[in-house]
Amino acid sequence: MPKVSIIMPSLNVVTYIKECMDSVIDQTLQDIEIICVDAGSTDGTREILQEYASRDSRIIVLDSDRKSYGYQVNWGFDVAKGEYLGIVETDDYIDPGMFQTLYNTAIENNADFVKSDFFLFTDFPDKGRQTIKHDLFRPSSISKKLVSYTDYTDQLVPIDTFMWNGIYKRKFVQEKNIRLNETQGAAYQDAGFRYQVALLVQRGVFIHSAFYHYRRDNAASSMNSPKGLQYDLQECQFIMDWVMNVFPEDYARLRMVSRSIAIICLNSLLRGAYYDNPNMHSVLQHYWNLLSFSYRKGLLLREDFSDEMWMELEMLLENQKYFERYIYEKAETEFKSYYDFLSLMASQNQVVIFGVGKIGKYASFFLNINGISNIVCICDNDNDKWGSLCMGNEICSPQKAVANYPNAYYLIANRANSKDMIKQLMGLNVPSKNIGIYPFPLNLIICTSRLLNNH
């Protein structure tokens, strides 16, 4: 029996498939099974997979007659013989020690799943590959702690955003009959899987290491699709149908799912308004049906939401027409804040980011992915970092940055110490009009999206 079966769904990813396959084949854990499920690629992807299979007996190539990510992964699960199951999307890649580390941790803890942090990356023409590490949770004290479904229902642990940054015991998946939604295309079908895992798990483990590299520059990715509004709705309905069927009387699980669907709904509708989605009105009606059911059952409680979200939920349930107008206005206001910031940065001849921490990396990524390539350096007060590179730019002292770029715009990427940093820059004779603070929260998707090109 292989230790891990790795499911790799593919469709027309010829640009990325070799890097992805090489990263899986070169795992330090060699006792693996690699199940490639191709959905009718026409760009040469299928031929490349067959070439790999002819050289490595661990590789199986299956031809799916359905272009459905959920169907492809489910078929891979059905065929798999490994003790644990993993998923690698074929426009991404993984570090050599990923499955060895996850498997060892799983065996040590007899875990139903083991999940880790991950990286996001994009290949830029001028600055090469830029990568950001994304931590699943703060604080990191959850790392290595065993979690069960009650940690999710008690809101002690949030549901992770993706399924591919971990492994799952095959016996657990089979015995609990955990399946992905088999809607057409690559349409967020991992959401239903993640909720089933969270609501059924007895022994889950999170580790504070990262191995998986998630691509953010594939224009064909479902994450970049304006159809996300419909995709979210499909998965919310799938999750609600599942929990009502499996746990019809379990108040804690029903409440958790209802709360999650409400949050997904509000975020999704905001994104739909941002893209001016033509299906907004009909999708809003479907969400109203879902949420009004939960509200009548007493599953949506005031204490589970922020003041703003509860106000929006009540507005949606009481007056759809008013809510629709409100959400468009909110989307326009949010977009304007991003647009104004990006326009200001684009208007500068030179930009220096002050702060090399997580905010600085996200700020650099956000500017670059939106086509703003005028960052000339990153400065920081930590002299141990001077001379090294961060996001394709040299790290130097603030004094050196000001000496080299006296007329640059200085973007502070450290809110906690921003007052002291402003004072420091002004002490170096940087005028206040050339100093700003990065204004946005560290939103995983927003900060790695081409907002201007998509609007």
Q: 348-454 in CATH: which number?
A: 3.40.50.720
Lowest-pLDDT choice from 216-225, 353-362, 398-407: 216-225
Q: Is 289 left (phi over 0), alpha (psi -120 to 50) or beta?
A: alpha
Question: 286-321: per-residue pLDDT in tens?
Answer: 999 999 999 999 999 999 999 999 999 999 999 999
What is the pLDDT, as a whole number, of residue 281?
A: 87
Tell me the two tokens of residue 70: 């959920």
Structural domain boundaries in the chain: 4-222, 229-339, 348-454
The pTM assigned to this predicted structure is 0.92
Question: 34-60: per-residue pLDDT in tens?
Answer: 999 999 999 999 999 999 999 999 999
Q: Among candidates 267, 314, 321, which has minimal Cα distance to 295?
A: 314
More confident residue, 52 or 334: 52
The secondary structure of the chain in percent helix, strand, coil, rounded to multiples of 5, reads 45, 20, 35
What is the pLDDT, as a whole number, of residue 224?
A: 46
- What fold characterizes domain 4-222? Spore Coat Polysaccharide Biosynthesis Protein SpsA; Chain A (3.90.550)
What average pLDDT does the segment 250-271 reach? 95
Spatial separation of the C-alpha atoms in residues 69 and 396, rounded to whole Å: 45
CA distances from residue 119 to 80, 345, 373, 383, 432 in whole angstroms, order as listed: 27, 25, 22, 26, 35
Residue 387, pLDDT above cutoff 90: yes
Spatial separation of the C-alpha atoms in residues 451 and 327, rounded to whole Å: 18
What average pLDDT does the segment 173-179 reach? 98
Peptide bond connecting 125 to the previous residue in cis, omega within 30 degrees of 0: no
